[in-house]
Amino acid sequence: MADHYETLGVSREATPEEIKKAYRRLARELHPDVNPSEEASERFKGVTHAYDVLSDPEQRQRYDMGGGQGGANGFGDIFETFFGGGGFGGQQRGPRSRAERGDDAMIRVDVQLEEVIFGVQRDVTVNTAVLCSVCQGACTQPGTHPVTCDVCGGQGQVQRQVRSLFGNVVTMHPCGSCQGYGTIIEHPCVECAGKGRVRERRTITVDIPSGIDTGTRLQMRGGGEVGPGGGPNGDLFIEFRVMHNDIFSRDGNDLLCTMQVSMTDAILGASATLGALDGDVEVEVEGGVQSGDVVTVRGRGIQGLRSTTRGDLKIAVQVVTPSKLSGREKDLVRQLATLRKDDPPHLGEFQQGFFGKIRDRFFRQG
């Protein structure tokens, strides 16, 4: 471990004033706001620690006597553990960075059912904080730099001596002068008022995947608010709502609809061309079809979320009984009835089918 005096570049006889001066000179050179390199950050920590020890008369004395790290410093740590430290976020030491992660952002996007089948690309507008183009997140007016805080000497925290049952105890508190940053911005960027970011509406293109449902969320990493001080972006969450469709509804990846079939087509059978959401579909109605029967067209439903297979199109048959007949039509039906000798209306065995079948398949999801 490096000698604290060597770290600060001062003699063992240095006065408190000389120690403070040496520290401030080094802090100006190594402070993360000035020098973002890893090496500078490590050295800055070492310098700050050396200054912590040597700027406190009691700690310095103990250090000079070979007490090293222990003593008041160690005790201070225990004290902070018991009493929650200086309200500075746990055991964090040294100045805090102006750069913080940005918040997540969330927008809601409405999509039509037909867009869900294959997914769709959509331009959406988001309003978030973006990096200030003038200072690039540095928060300072271009050409100026933050200066080391006079009050805490760039540490971002100040020591307070507290008298207690255990004697004098040193506790650390965030520096009120620099809000813990260790530096003060004397010339904040005018464009962003020293925040390093500005609000901006921007349009982004979103690839909406197939198979989404109301409530499905898409997470776009880094699409959210840029952080204060040029910190990393939060994420953007896009929550979808699938709009109601009068003709088609949905059961998972299956599409559901109803087909009205005339009485004669129901008896004789027919073929039909239906306009589905993704184009025409040919349907064969077999003679004798009943209301509630379901015609399934395989692979014409919704393509699953992150999948290449599609659900089915399920078409429930509804046989329409004619209500207005001419005299001749009535005669023909009577002739048919005479020919067929069908049973008069009677009680039948209860069948789940019919209305039940429709209800089950169409309203299962409430």
**By the criterion CB under 5 A, which residues form the site for Zn ion?**
132, 134-135, 149, 151-152, 175, 177-178, 189, 191-192
Residues forming beta bridges with residue 240, ordered by sequence position: 109
We find the least distance from the C-beta atom of residue 172 to Zn ion, in angstroms, to be: 12
Q: Which is nearer to Zn ion, 178 or 256 (CB)?
A: 178
Tokens read off for 37? 């390199």
Q: Are 318 and 306 in contact (CB under 8 A)?
A: no
Q: Are 107 and 124 in contact (CB under 8 A)?
A: yes
Q: Which is nearer to Zn ion, 175 or 276 (CB)?
A: 175
Q: Which is nearer to Zn ion, 180 or 211 (CB)?
A: 180
- Type of residue numbered 225: E
Q: What radius of gyration, in Å, describes the C-alpha atoms of the chain? A: 38
- Type of residue numbered 145: H
Q: Which residues of 98-137 are buried (b: 16+ CB within 10 A; e: fewer)?
A: bbeebbebebeeebebbbbbebbeeeeebebbbbbeebeb
Sheet strands (E) in the chain: 105-111, 120-131, 147-148, 157-164, 167-174, 183-184, 197-208, 217-220, 236-242, 249-251, 254-262, 270-276, 279-285, 294-297, 313-320
What is the distance between the alpha carbons of residues 173 and 298, in angstroms, rounded to a whole number?
69
- Type of residue numbered 88: F
Q: Are 250 and 364 in contact (CB under 8 A)?
A: no
We find the least distance from the C-beta atom of residue 98 to Zn ion, in angstroms, to be: 12
We find the least distance from the C-beta atom of residue 218 to Zn ion, in angstroms, to be: 31
We find the least distance from the C-beta atom of residue 99 to Zn ion, in angstroms, to be: 13
Q: Which is nearer to Zn ion, 19 or 256 (CB)?
A: 19
We find the least distance from the C-beta atom of residue 66 to Zn ion, in angstroms, to be: 31
We find the least distance from the C-beta atom of residue 234 to Zn ion, in angstroms, to be: 19
We find the least distance from the C-beta atom of residue 154 to Zn ion, in angstroms, to be: 7
Q: Which is nearer to Zn ion, 130 or 295 (CB)?
A: 130
Q: Which is nearer to Zn ion, 149 or 285 (CB)?
A: 149
Distance from the Cα of residue 264 to its chain's centroid: 56
**Considering Cα of 136, then 142, then 147, then 149, what sign does the dihedral take?**
negative
Beta carbons within 8 Å of 155's beta carbon, 6+ residues apart: 48, 51, 52, 94, 95, 175, 182
We find the least distance from the C-beta atom of residue 114 to Zn ion, in angstroms, to be: 45
- What separation in angstroms does the CA of 260 have from each of 170, 257, 266, 281? 85, 10, 10, 15
We find the least distance from the C-beta atom of residue 130 to Zn ion, in angstroms, to be: 11
Q: Which is nearer to Zn ion, 26 or 149 (CB)?
A: 149
Q: Which is nearer to Zn ion, 88 or 362 (CB)?
A: 88
- Type of residue numbered 195: K
